Structure 1
Amino acid sequence: MSTGSEGGGATAVRPPPFGTGQRIRTRAIWAVSLFTAAMPPAVVGFGISTATDDQVNVAMPLALLFWVLGFLFALWAAVPTLRHWDGLPAQTRWLGALPLLSVSLFLSVALFLPLLR
C-alpha cells in the first residue's frame, strides 16, 4: 500500500535536484549586489536633477538598469525557491525569497507614500 494519496494526505518531501540550493544562493547574492549597485547612481542622479536645471543625466538610467537586473535575478532566485520550498534548508529558503520580498515591500511603500501626503 502506498503512503502517497491514501494515507491521510501525507506525502514524502523530495529533495530538490542537485545544485539547486547553490544556484538559488548565487542568484540571490547577485540580486542583492545589483540592488546595492543601483543606490549610488540613484543618489547622484537625484542630486543632479534637483540641484541643476539640466534634467538629462546618465546616472538615473544606470540606476534603473541595475535595479531591473537585480529584479530579474530576484525573480530568477524566487521561482526555484518556491518550487522546491519544502526540500530546501531554511537558510536557503529565506535567502532565495528575501530579495523579491524586499522589492515588493519597496514597491508597496512607493505606491502608498503619495497617498499619505
Structure 2
Amino acid sequence: AHAEALQAAWSDVQATLAVLTPLLRSDGERALVNASVFLEAFGHTVLAWTWLRQAVVADGALAQAATAQEVDFYQGKLQTCRWFFHWELPRTVPQHALLRSLDDSTLAMQDAWF
C-alpha cells in the first residue's frame, strides 16, 4: 500500500510540474509565488520515499534481529514509516491541487490593505 501511495504522490509532483514549468517561461512570478508550498509537498514526497526504503530494510532485518533492542529499532522504523504515510504524505494532495489551480490570491494582495 505504501508503494502505491508513493507512486501517487510522485504522479502529483509530475502533474504539478507539468503546470508550473511552462508558466515559468511566461509568468515567473506567478509560477513561483507559492514555491514554499511546492517545496514542502516535494520534500514530504522525498521523505516518504526515504521512509519506505528504511522500512523495506527494517522488514528484512527484523527476522534476523538478535536482541530485543534490535527488534525495537526495526519496529520503530516500520511504525514511523506507517505514521508518515498516514499523517504526512496525504497532506501533499491538497497542496498539489492548490498549486495546480494557479490561485492568484497571494499576488492579488495589495500593500495598502495591511
TM range, normalised to the smaller chain? 0.3 to 0.5
Tell which has more relative contact order, 1 or 2 (C-alpha 8 A, sep 6+). 2
TM-score (norm 1): 0.41
| Larger relative helix fraction | 2
Structure number with bigger Rg: 1
